[in-house]
Chain A
Amino acid sequence: MMQRHLILEDGTVFQGLGFGAPATTFGEIIFHTAMTGYQEIITDPIYDGQMIVFAMPVIGAAGIHAEAYESVKPTISGMIVHDLAEVSVNRQRRMNLDRFLKQHNIPGLYQVDTRQLIRHLRETGPQKASIVDYADEHAIDQLVATVLTNKQVQNTATPKPYANPGRGRHIVVIDFGLKHGILRMLGDYDANVSVLPYTTTVEEVLTLDPDGIILSTGPGDPRTLPESVLTLIRVLQSKVPMLGIGLGHELFALANDAELMPLSSEHHGMNHPIQEIISRQIFYAMQGQGYAVDANSINRKKLFVTYRDLVDGAVQGLRHREFPAFSVQFFPDAAPGPLEATTVFADFFETVEDYVEHYNQ
């Protein structure tokens, strides 16, 4: 394995050995503390264009599995780990991490003092980074000059509608960079799913006569999306039960006049206690967020807070005061992550049933 380098915008350089593709890439670097689910994490479109540092010391030993993809194609810009586990490719493990990254032209770096790197990043916050062969001045200049894309949703969301048929309720998913876990959960309820691009219109959605609408997860800053998305949400939430997840939650908040703020320290992991305010129950879920809804900006006539992160107090869920519409910041699809949070889907489907019943009467 070849010696390669990770350079940060602030000039810090880390040495390691390259794996995956030998490519030179740029991206925003963040750290992840989850100890399971590396495959799901690196294939989750929410990390589009980002470089992920794993706190988990050994990565790769579980292989790559057919049923653990969160998207068809990973679009992270790099992966930094301490120890890369070598495993053979066989019946049980159909693919290994090294080959997988090579196939998708994504570079990885291992034998890095990831604990030092994480302790550094927790102070500086996310910043631009690059995996390069030589950490010279030229490389750093180039990194500083690089402007990272803010078109992550465009990169990852479907441009065309498609269906995932089922025999149950008709659920329209508006795709902002959907992770497969959401479709899997909808499959568990045998939902008849139509996935629409985020550029869809109110008419297109309503023509499909959905029983419920899901605003999907997705990457990046939701404020870069066109205003039409917020209008779409405003109209639809008054007509059909709605669930927003991740980026979908942030958009739901924006559509109802709340504001976003960057988190003082980004949080990517599954160890924070999340409290359901109404019952005081605590549970854990996969979280991946750089922004949070600013609790002070919430118009109490429109929204109220349903879940909170007990570590930093960040808003983790909202509900509309007048409509059967709610949203969660965390990922209730448990792919990866604890199953406790999957009850959000149960709540959604119960709301859908209620709505259908009332509508019929």
Chain B
Amino acid sequence: MLNITTNNKIKRVLFIGAGSNDFGREAEHDAAIYQVMPELRGHGVEVFLIDENPYALSLESLAATVFWQPLTVENLKKVVHDNNIDTVAPLFGGKSSLRLWAEVVQSWVHGDGPVPNTLGLTIDMLLKVNNIPALTSLMSDNGLPVINNYVLKAQDEANELLRELQLPLMVRALHPNQTNTRHVVDRLDDFEDAIHLAKLQSITQEVIISRAINGLKEVSLEVLRDFRGNKMQIGASEDMDPIGIHTADSLSVSPILTIQDQLISQMRDYAFRIADLLQLQGVMHVQFAVDDDTHKIYIIKVSPYIDQMATRMSLATGYPTMLVAINLAMGVALEDIVLPHNFGNNTAMMEPMMDHVVVKLPVFPFGELAEAGVQVNRQLNSVQKSIGTTLGFGRTFIEALEKAIRSAHFNNASFSPTNMAHINDDELIQQLIHPQDNRVLLLIEAIKRGYEIDELAELTAIDEFYFHQLQHLHKLEEEIESDIDSIRSLRRGKKYGLSDGLLARFWHTDFNIIRTLAKENDINVTYKAVEPSAGEFPENARQYYATYESENESIQINEASVLVIGSGAFRMGDAASGSYATAIAMSELRRLQYPTIIMNNNPSDATLLPHLADKQYLEPLEISDVMRVVELENPKIIVIPGNRRKLIKALRDLGQQVMVLPKEKHTPNGPNENQSEFALNIFYDGQKIYPINLTQHMAGEIRIVPQVAELLHSISQSRIDNPGVYQIIWYQDTIHWLKNVDSSDIGHNSWLRPMPFGQIAYMTKVMQIPWIRLTVRAALNELSKQDIEMLTTVNQLPIVHQLSMVAADVNYQLHLQPSNVIDGTRFEIGVGVNYYER
């Protein structure tokens, strides 16, 4: 067989970034692009990138020529033409990049010259992947089990289909005259009525029938394929929640625990056949609906590009997915891929195995919104509502679950054993059938109240294995609660992933007491490596997670290391900017040659890029988790985002040297519709304040005021705790972009706050001055003479930029159905960029 894209044809490659963050789009694509661009350079290729997201790390990469522009067909075409791009790489930017590139290809006219190749897919397949009906019929024609829709008019046609497809069936109207015409038919008796009703609801009296799959298990496989047609499975997970709940909102578990080998092998075979059909050179995520009763399998989604599953599996197994993916796309055969020295010789072509459990929990925005008085639809369904993800690693499901919950909540207060007690039985049943974000707690509550496992499994369509596990957890907690200060209980609790904080709550004491008690009784944490051979071969692992077993594998990396605490799951208003800021800080620490350690648990976070740290701890970020790592690694400095005030205080109380990345606890509100928010932006290097510039923030947009910023005397004398970028804020009643701000307004009803990370990212890109790096240098007394000179004159730099930062167009209505308008600044999910004059 021949390559689709042979190496020698690829000279100038353009990556298309994923664009603004959104529901289902965290930093995974940016991180992937940031990681693979230098690898591509290693193949002797000239690399280009276009993206609009101010939080994109990859836009600051030195490996590529970057274009920070709105992602439009016109801009993309222009970049392709102006730079003689021969190959475009949309697969790393995920679905939105793929769609945009397909649009460009479709609008390509003869005069545009030859269409550039698509890295990893033929043009034909690119267009098929972007067209779901075409993709579905391609699979169906090739004997793959997809869910077909049958359109029919007469009852006897329906009867034929009933025999062929079997119950349950989904019946709905074609060309409906009202919005919701879906009926799931479970019983034969209801079938005729459903057809009749759907016909009435259809303008053309036509009915669509398909096999109903609600309530089946949802399974994801991640596979890859090289140009020779070699295929490999690199990850698998099952959702605890059944089909009907968006997979991003489901609790999901790797490896697959409750499904037999035969069914998994069958799914693997289907995924491989799809990869062959698409002639893919890269990685692919395939989602299945599985009925383990009848052994029926349906293919429900095919994503031959980087998505959250790809990043999650990479972290869960230790398999270097992105490095392999770019090699496959470049036409390197699986057996010829050369990996960096810290991987085993054959890692690329050995299917990754796991000897630990990884639980993924979604993080929902409901709590924060409710605090601000915004009610939303909390019921989980097929539309994604979660905005972040977090992983828990453990040696058992319970341990991994406990750690994922703690990662998602930062502390155990929101996961108290009692916080479902208020709910009455009717509500409980209702919520079991129509689950909400607190689903796990609800299930535990139901077990507490004595519901039978088979009853619960029936109600929720969740595999009974999970109820046995939750029952086990419930019993464990009861035993611990009634067995105060018992070392045996402490040992069991730690083994199952309960935090010192939670144990302290059970025993009405302080986490430090628990920590000391554990230490005195030799209940020690053991860190295990996450590596893809599951112990079969020695590997130089860099990823670790904590458990309580007999052998510890992690040893101190260096006497003078820096421990960086990540931000955990993405939240509203925090979004990807936290990931950006921390990742840049890590990059700067590496540049300054500090041995760097990261603790984090968000698989979509750029801080978990393999080359940004010497070691990763995939852990919750509570004080007890942090302290155990601190005791082992004994870092010189701990770097923490400023919003983690309690953690900062606790660490300082324990005598740790902490370096704060200045940040407010909550993202500030945006100005109201008649107002503008103004900021005098300043940099504090630990001794001196330097004025930077002035910005105006109005209607979801931030621009730089074209005026030299000066400091008032009163400000230049203020004291600030930590070095960093700050802003002096005031409001003014104006709805016009001002060219001049009256400086006498400053200091009047104004206040100081750290510049939000998002604005720092914007300011860094628009000014070409690395503010986070300067912050790190200032905090470590590493500012150079040139740095100081630059800071002294930064306010005098000519203001030439014409780019503003704008709130992304996020469809809150579709995802959340909020009761009132959501403040797009405080609850920001993503941002983009735009030209002043548009």
Number of A-B contacts (CB under 8 A): 165
B258 touches A61 (CB 8 A): yes
B397 touches A83 (CB 8 A): yes
A269 touches B395 (CB 8 A): no
Q: Which residues of B contact A311 (CB under 8 A)?
A: 346, 350
Q: Does B45 contact A (CB under 8 A)?
A: no
Of B193-201, B265-273, B767-775, the one with at least 4 CB within 8 A of chain A: B265-273
Of A279-287, A291-299, A345-353, the one with at least 4 CB within 8 A of chain B: A279-287
A68/B453 contact (C-beta < 8 A), A57-B354, A118-B355 known? no
In angstroms, Cα B354 to Cα A270, docked, is 12
| B261 CB contact (under 8 Å) in A68, A280, A284, A310 | A68
B454 touches A88 (CB 8 A): yes
| B346 CB contact (under 8 Å) in A62, A82, A273 | A273
A86/B350 contact (C-beta < 8 A), A57-B357, A118-B535 known? no
B465 touches A87 (CB 8 A): yes
B261 touches A336 (CB 8 A): yes
A282 touches B334 (CB 8 A): yes
Q: Does A360 contact B (CB under 8 A)?
A: no
| A36 CB contact (under 8 Å) in B256, B537, B549, B550 | B256
Of A82, A86, A280, A338, most B-chain CB atoms within 10 Å? A338
Q: Does A225 contact B (CB under 8 A)?
A: no
Q: Does A35 contact B (CB under 8 A)?
A: yes
Q: Does B611 contact A (CB under 8 A)?
A: no
| A122 CB contact (under 8 Å) in B261, B262, B537 | B537
In the assembled complex, how far is the CB of residue B547 from the closest CB belonging to chain A, in whole angstroms?
9
Q: Does A275 contact B (CB under 8 A)?
A: yes
Which parts of B237-266 form the interface with A (CB within 8 Å)?
255-262, 264-266
Q: Which residues of B contact A280 (CB under 8 A)?
A: 228, 335
Q: Mark A79-101, 1 if CB is under 8 A from B, else 0.
A: 00011011110111000000000
Q: Does B468 contact A (CB under 8 A)?
A: yes
The interface size bin for chain B is 35 or more
Chain A residue with Cβ nearest B270: A339
Q: Mark A166-210, 1 if CB is under 8 A from B, else 0.
A: 000000000000000000000000000000000000000000000
Q: Which residues of B contact A122 (CB under 8 A)?
A: 535-538
B356 touches A57 (CB 8 A): yes
The interface size bin for chain A is 35 or more
In angstroms, Cα B390 to Cα A61, docked, is 24
B468 touches A56 (CB 8 A): no
B335 touches A113 (CB 8 A): no
Q: Does B49 contact A (CB under 8 A)?
A: no
A85 touches B335 (CB 8 A): no
Q: Does B351 contact A (CB under 8 A)?
A: yes
In angstroms, Cα B549 to Cα A30, docked, is 21
| B395 CB contact (under 8 Å) in A34, A82, A92 | A82
Q: Mark A28-61, 1 if CB is under 8 A from B, else 0.
A: 0001011111011000000000000001111001
In the assembled complex, how far is the CB of residue A247 from the closest CB belonging to chain B, in whole angstroms?
22
In angstroms, Cα B351 to Cα A282, docked, is 12
A37 touches B257 (CB 8 A): no
In the assembled complex, how far is the CB of residue B689 from the closest CB belonging to chain A, in whole angstroms?
53
Chain B residue with Cβ nearest A118: B535
Q: Does B230 contact A (CB under 8 A)?
A: yes
A62 touches B257 (CB 8 A): yes
Q: Which residues of A contact B551 (CB under 8 A)?
A: 113, 115-116, 119
Q: Which residues of A contact B352 (CB under 8 A)?
A: 271
A115/B264 contact (C-beta < 8 A), A55-B353, A87-B464 known? no
Q: Does A114 contact B (CB under 8 A)?
A: yes
A281/B229 contact (C-beta < 8 A), A61-B258, A85-B468, A115-B355 known? yes
| A310 CB contact (under 8 Å) in B349, B534, B535 | B349
Q: Mark B322-356, 1 if CB is under 8 A from A, else 0.
A: 00000000000011000000000010011111111
Q: Mark B172-195, 1 if CB is under 8 A from A, else 0.
A: 000000000000000000000000
What are 7 contact pairs spanning A and B, CB under 8 A?
Answer: A40-B261, A57-B395, A85-B469, A116-B551, A310-B346, A338-B265, A339-B265
7 closest cross-chain pairs (CB), A and B = A37-B261, A336-B261, A116-B551, A36-B261, A271-B351, A118-B535, A113-B549
Which B residues are closer than 8 A to A by beta carbons?
228-233, 255-262, 264-266, 268-269, 272, 292-293, 334-335, 346, 349-357, 395-397, 453-454, 463-465, 468-469, 472, 526, 528, 533-538, 549-551
